[in-house]
Amino acid sequence: MIPRKKIIAGNWKMNKTQAEARVLVADILQDIGRFDDAEIVLCPPFTALAAVSELLSPVSNVRLGAQNMHEAASGAYTGEISASMLRELYVRYVIIGHSERRQYFHEDNATVNRKTKAALAAELRPIICIGETLPEREANKWKNVLETQLIDGLVGFTDKELADIIFAYEPVWAIGTGKTATGAQAQEAHQWIRQILGKRFSPTAAEKVRIQYGGSVKPENAKELLSMPDIDGALVGGASLDSRGFTAIIKNACLE
């Protein structure tokens, strides 16, 4: 089995001013100390990226991520942010196709494909979010939904590109609702995702890919979820806004 380093990301969504972000990051860095057992990614809103970037050391295991980007290199796209603007702030990761972007901003699998292409071209590592809604889960359509999201989102990519992509399985019914998938449910979905990737790409490339779980991850459920063989990390929303909670998730999930 190929070992996969766990990756825990905090998605702050539309929360934290620059001043609040500085306080949160200082607290996280203090609580976490030197911690090399997992990669940690902080995804503040665009307006706090520079402030957070200044607090992170280039050699630290804590990295900077953005929550979104536009696929064009530059131009007349009022209100949008390009990959090179993120790179200038030492951003290394970018969340693509979060369910809130899909739901409120009409992003679809073709958008995800274009943004992922642009992110990779700029040497940003995309965290591609996929996941089914409650009606899709209840109608037992989740496998088809995940397959379509993956196949359509990854059109044109090779094994080499897959190696730089991270996936986040986020069942929409578990995001911000307090409802979490059980370890067994999440493992079943992650295994399915890896199986699809193994058919679309090479089995070795699929074996190396890291797949995060997201949706109401908390200190209390992190260990069960992250002890599953195909769960390689977490994308944490609400609980990442509190340093104690976020660092407890990291420690619970990654320390034996």
Chain-centre distance for alpha carbon 244: 20
Q: Answer yes or no whether residue 170 interacts with ligand PGA by CB under 6 A.
A: yes
The one among 48, 175, 197, 211 contacting ligand PGA by CB under 6 A = 175
Q: Answer yes or no whether residue 8 interacts with ligand PGA by CB under 6 A.
A: no
**Would you call 98 a catalytic residue per the annotation?**
yes
Q: Answer yes or no whether residue 214 interacts with ligand PGA by CB under 6 A.
A: yes
The one among 10, 153, 219, 238 contacting ligand PGA by CB under 6 A = 238
**Would you call 70 a catalytic residue per the annotation?**
no
Q: Answer yes or no whether residue 211 interacts with ligand PGA by CB under 6 A.
A: no
Q: Answer yes or no whether residue 216 interacts with ligand PGA by CB under 6 A.
A: yes
Q: Answer yes or no whether residue 235 interacts with ligand PGA by CB under 6 A.
A: yes
Total binding residues toward ligand PGA, as defined by CB under 6 A: 13
Catalytic residue among 98, 107, 136, 190: 98
Structure tokens at 61: 């295991």
* Least spacing, CB of residue 249 vs ligand PGA, in Å: 10
Cβ pair 55, 23 in contact under 8 A: no
The one among 6, 8, 10, 11 contacting ligand PGA by CB under 6 A = 11
Half-sphere exposure of 23 (CA within 13 A, CB side): 7
* Least spacing, CB of residue 73 vs ligand PGA, in Å: 27
Binding segment for ligand PGA (CB under 6 A), chosen from 69-77, 120-128, 195-203, 234-242, is 234-242
Binding segment for ligand PGA (CB under 6 A), chosen from 32-40, 65-73, 81-89, 236-244, is 236-244
Q: Answer yes or no whether residue 245 interacts with ligand PGA by CB under 6 A.
A: no
- Closest residue to ligand PGA: CB criterion: 237
Strands 125-130 and 166-169 come out as parallel
SS (H, E, C) the chain: CCCCCEEEEEECCCCCCHHHHHHHHHHHHHHHCCCCCEEEEEECCHHHHHHHHHHCCCCCCEEEEECCCCCCCCCCCCCCCCHHHHHHCCCCEEEECCHHHHHHCCCCHHHHHHHHHHHHHCCCEEEEEECCCHHHHHCCCHHHHHHHHHHHHCCCCCHHHHCCCEEEECCHHHCCCCCCCCHHHHHHHHHHHHHHHHHHCCHHHHHHCEEEEECCCCHHHHHHHHCCCCCCEEEECHHHHCHHHHHHHHHHHHCC
Q: Answer yes or no whether residue 69 interacts with ligand PGA by CB under 6 A.
A: no
Binding segment for ligand PGA (CB under 6 A), chosen from 75-83, 116-124, 143-151, 230-238, is 230-238
Catalytic site positions: 98, 170
Residue ranges in contact with ligand PGA by CB under 6 A: 11, 170, 175-176, 214-217, 235-239
